[in-house]
Amino acid sequence: MIKESINFKEAGKFEETRFEKIHNVIFDSSQEASVLVAQEIANIIQRKEELNEPCVLGLATGSSPIKVYEELVRLHTEEGLSFANVVTFNLDEYYPMDKNNIQSYWYFMHQHLFDHVDILPQNVNIPDGNVNIEELQQYCIDYEMKIKAYGGLDFQLLGIGRTGHIGFNEPGSHVNSGTRSITLDHLTRQDAASSFLGIDNVPRKAITMGIGTVKNAKRIVLLGWGISKAEIIKDTIEGEISSRVPATYLQQHNNTTFVLDTEASSELTRVKTPWLVKSVIWTEELKLKAVAWLSELTKKPFLKLTDKDYNDNGMSSLLTEEGTAYDLNIKMFNKMQQTITGWPGGKPNADDTYRPERATPEKKRIIIFSPHPDDDVISMGGTFDRLVEQGHDVHIAYQTSGNIAVSNEEALKFAEISRALNKNSSESENIINFLKNKKANDIDSLEVRKLKGVIRRSESVAATRYLDVPDSNVNFLDLPFYETGTVKKNNLGEADIQIMCDIIERIKPHQIYAAGDLADPHGTHKVCLDSLFEALKRLKHKSFMDDCWVWLYRGAWHEWESYQIEMAVPMSPDQVLKKRHAIFYHQSQKDGVMFQGDDSREFWVRVEDRNRLTAEKYHALGLADYSAIEAFKRYFF
Ligand code: F6R
């Protein structure tokens, strides 16, 4: 049965600090948090039902609320929650936008919620992206008046954009703004680019409820998941109220809760630098985090930090525990120093007490899992090269086909080559016809998807051959969850996990490398990581797993913090070039890829910068000066 009342404070991690101006609760996972938010909504619906009143909900779209809607649907189908008394108002819609377009918020809401519950169609209100431009202003006034006529919103669910928008109230929005049309910020359009298959297809305008409309809600819950939201969450919760970050206006609302996962909360002062706000238990990881932070703040290497530096920056309790700055500095310096190794597979015949990897067995069996066919070389090309060079038995497993990231033009080129070589091929002819007549919203035919997958396979094999891996060690797993032909993927299924278990059981690896990106909790990398974690859980009891160590690398988007790094593999300038060439084999992903994210640089440029930056950070902490470093964190299962 649905729980009576939700106590977010008890369920998550909650401690108010003098820095924070909005009540917020942190959960280990967005899944766990979403279930509680759905329960709160269900409670309001039921309370209103008992009073025989309509329950007026303000709803959001985007990736953030998806799990809340999933749970509401479950509560409806499995626990009898009825939506018969529910009236909904959605925050926004692109403009212009046809409701049947798969990118419309109308489509999204029906796909995720309305088609699966017993809400009356006439009680669903979503701004109409097809309204005539001349009627738009009156339409918005009417939308606003309709909410008022229902007595206002009982509950408003929000996500937050990286611009600080709520709804589509972009920076500059007025605190008292009502429903209106708005021009979307460039960053917002960039963030939407992947679902529209390119920024050029993202509408420039939208209709949105105003800040005033949202603030009149009796209760507001804002969801924030993933590292990409961490900065804006901090600015919103700790910053001054300003139209530059419209979400800060929520500081004036007295019944708002921000529900966050660990990554989204990671920039909050109480999370990032807890020693500044309260007395802390100094774990080994926290000590290193604090000393690295202090070193960055004071721009001094570890070995030059003084007692005064520690005392002036809220870390005197650490000094008390450790004795003097001198002892602590040396201890932390050694700790970082011990992460550096040119022998990622372990150094043969060496004392490995303080090395990141074991010396034996000398030749290890290794699986490098790569979510897309290119993350292996982008994220760990240098380490990959060393592992092969040092004689380990390296197997690559590309988890997904990566087919949707191949452009139509690229696919057409190959289909035309295939037709030229193979004159009677009806398959090539079909593909060419399909691609030439493809409309913006069309999902690729199976043949086209197959061709796009083959293009990525050939590129991958070219790159692995360049790094001297035998073809027989290259595996394409084509995990089924990915094969929807669209940006939206299926949930992880039994078949995916079985494929992961099978390859681990077959190779019995001593080392596994995998992408540990948590940048986007709904992205492919996260699902691929979850598939590995689940496989590890299932195989854990097998004896060969006792010898298996797992190392997580991070993709093109985000690097480990220096205090998190447990293995740092330096690269020579020549190796940096070799890595660059390996990345170049992935030609379909060069020159303006389809899923660029918010960084317009090509992957090889981004990753070179990132590897150089990691090396610079090590150097700034007082360690040796390398050209580039690839970084890994061990995962214990
Ligand atoms: C959507 C909306 C937006 C999103 C925000 C975050 O209806 O109003 O404010 O909540 O852009 O989007 P996601 O959740 O996709 O990160």
Dist. CA 133 → ligand 1 center (Å): 24
Q: Atom 3, ligand 1: which residue's CA is nearest?
A: 167
Query: Worst-scoring range by mean pLDDT, 32-41, 415-424, 475-484, 621-630?
Result: 415-424
Dihedral of alpha carbons 309, 312, 313, 317, sign: positive
Q: What is the mean pLDDT of residues 601-629?
A: 94
Q: Which atom of ligand 1 is nearest to the CA of 188?
A: 11
The ligand 1 atom at the shortest distance from the C-alpha of residue 225 is 16
342-390 tens-digit pLDDT: 999 999 999 999 999 999 999 999 999 999 999 999 999 999 999 999 9
Pick the CATH number of 365-405+456-635 from 3.30.413.10, 3.40.50.10320, 1.10.10.10, 3.30.365.10: 3.40.50.10320
Q: Which of 30, 57, 91, 214 to mutate to test the pocket of ligand 1 (most atoms within 8 A of CB)?
A: 91
Burial of 384 (0-12, 13-18, 19+ CB in 10 A): buried
Per CATH, which fold does 23-261 belong to? Rossmann fold (3.40.50)
- Write out pLDDT tens, residues 420-450: 998 778 999 999 999 999 987 788 999 999 9
Confidence of residue 38 (pLDDT cuts 50, 70, 90): very high
DSSP H stretches of helix in 175-312: 186-192, 211-215, 230-238, 269-272, 284-298, 307-312
Pairing of strands 155-158, 220-224: parallel
Neighbouring C-alpha atoms within 13 Å toward the C-beta of 281: 1
Residue 416 annotated among the catalytic residues of the structure: no
d(CA 529, CA 635): 11
The average pLDDT across 244-260 equals: 97
pTM: 0.86
CA of 521 to the centre of ligand 1 (A): 14
Query: How many CB atoms neighbour CB 285 within 10 A?
Result: 10
Nearest CA, atom 2, ligand 1: 167
What average pLDDT does the segment 558-580 reach?
A: 94
Of 303 and 427, the one with more pLDDT = 303
Q: What is the CA radius of gyration of the chain?
A: 26
23-27, 154-158, 256-260, 601-605, range with the lowest pLDDT: 601-605
Give residues (CB < 6 A) around ligand 1.
60-64, 91-92, 159-161, 165-168
Catalytic choice (20, 40, 170, 608): 170
The owner of tokens 């490398």 is 513
Find the 114 Cα to ligand 1 centroid distance in Å.
18
Closest CA to ligand 1's atom 9: 167
Q: What is the pLDDT of residue 520?
A: 54
Higher pLDDT, 111 or 1: 111
Q: Is pLDDT above 60 for 479?
A: yes
Interval between CA 36 and ligand 1 midpoint (Å): 19
> For residue 68, what are the contacts with CB-CB under 8 A and spacing of at least 6?
34, 37, 38, 41, 157, 223
Does residue 179 contact residue 214 with C-beta atoms inside 8 Å? no
Instruction: Please report the sign of the dihedral spanned by the C-alpha atoms of residue 202, residue 259, residue 50, residue 2.
Output: positive
Q: How far apart are CA 476 and CA 598, in angstroms?
A: 28
**Ligand 1 atom nearest 61 alpha carbon:** 7
| 19-24 mean pLDDT | 95
Domain spans, the chain? 23-261, 277-337, 365-405+456-635
The closest-lying atom of ligand 1 relative to the alpha carbon of residue 226 is 16
Ligand 1 binding pocket mutation candidate from 157, 168, 202, 220 (most atoms within 8 A of CB): 168
User: d(Cα 71, Cα 430) in Å, to the nearest integer?
Assistant: 42
- Which residue's alpha carbon is nearest to atom 11 within ligand 1? 161
Sorting pLDDT into bands at 50, 70 and 90, what band is 200? confident
Q: Quick check: 367 and 507 in contact, CB under 8 A?
A: yes
Specify whether the CB–CB gap between 242 and 248 falls below 8 A: yes
Domains 23-261 and 365-405+456-635 share a fold: yes
As a dihedral over the C-alpha atoms of residue 567, residue 572, residue 577, residue 580, rounded to 10 degrees, the angle is: 10
Give the pLDDT mean for 508-531: 85
Per-residue pLDDT band at 501 (split at 50, 70, 90): very high
Question: Alpha-carbon distance 349 to 171, whole Å?
Answer: 60
Q: How far is the CA of 92 from the centre of ligand 1 (A)?
A: 9
Helices assigned H by DSSP within 51-155:
66-79, 105-112, 136-149
Q: To the nearest whole percent, how much of the chain has pLDDT over 70?
A: 95
Q: Is the pLDDT of residue 487 over 80?
A: no
132-146, 454-468, 522-536: least confidently modelled range: 522-536
Please tell me the distance between residue 159's alpha carbon and the centre of ligand 1 in angstroms. 5
Whether the CB-CB separation of 363 and 393 falls below 8 Å is answered with: yes
Closest-lying ligand 1 atom to the alpha carbon of residue 105 = 7
Angle between helices 603-620 and 573-584 (to 10 degrees): 160
How far does the centroid of ligand 1 lie from the alpha carbon of residue 91, in Å? Answer: 9
Measuring from atom 10 of ligand 1, which residue has the nearest CA? 159
Distance 595 CA to ligand 1 centre (A): 18
pLDDT at 555: 66
pLDDT band per the 50, 70, 90 thresholds, residue 12: confident
State the average pLDDT for the chain. Answer: 93
Average pLDDT over residues 446-459: 96
Measured in residues, the chain has a length of 637
What are the tokens at 120?
């009356």
Is the pLDDT score of 467 beyond 80? yes
CA of 63 to the centre of ligand 1 (A): 7
Residue with CA at minimum distance from ligand 1 atom 1: 61
Atom of ligand 1 nearest to the CA of 169: 9
Best substitution site from 90, 160, 229 to test ligand 1's pocket, by max atoms within 8 Å of Cβ?
A: 160
Q: What is the longest distance spanned by two Cα atoms in the chain?
A: 81
Please state the rounded mean pLDDT for residues 48-67: 96
pLDDT in the model for residue 1: 41
Residue 628 sits at φ, ψ, to 5 deg, of -160, 150
Which atom in ligand 1 lies closest to the alpha carbon of residue 90? 7
pLDDT at 519: 56
pLDDT confidence tier of residue 82, bands split at 50, 70 and 90: very high
- 173, pLDDT greater than 60: yes
Q: How far is the CA of 192 from the centre of ligand 1 (A)?
A: 9
Q: Give the nearest ligand 1 atom to 228 CA.
A: 16
Residue of the nearest CA to atom 4 in ligand 1? 159
User: In ligand 1, which atom is closest to the CA atom of 166?
Assistant: 9
pLDDT the model gives residue 246: 98
Q: Which of 165, 185, 220, 232 to mutate to test the pocket of ligand 1 (most atoms within 8 A of CB)?
A: 165
Minimal-distance CA residue to ligand 1 atom 12: 62
Say how many Å lie between the CA of residue 208 and the centre of ligand 1: 11
pLDDT at 634 over 90: yes
Mutating to test ligand 1, I would choose from 34, 57, 59, 61 the residue with most ligand atoms within 8 A of its C-beta, which is: 61
Measured by CA distance, the residue closest to atom 8 of ligand 1 is: 167
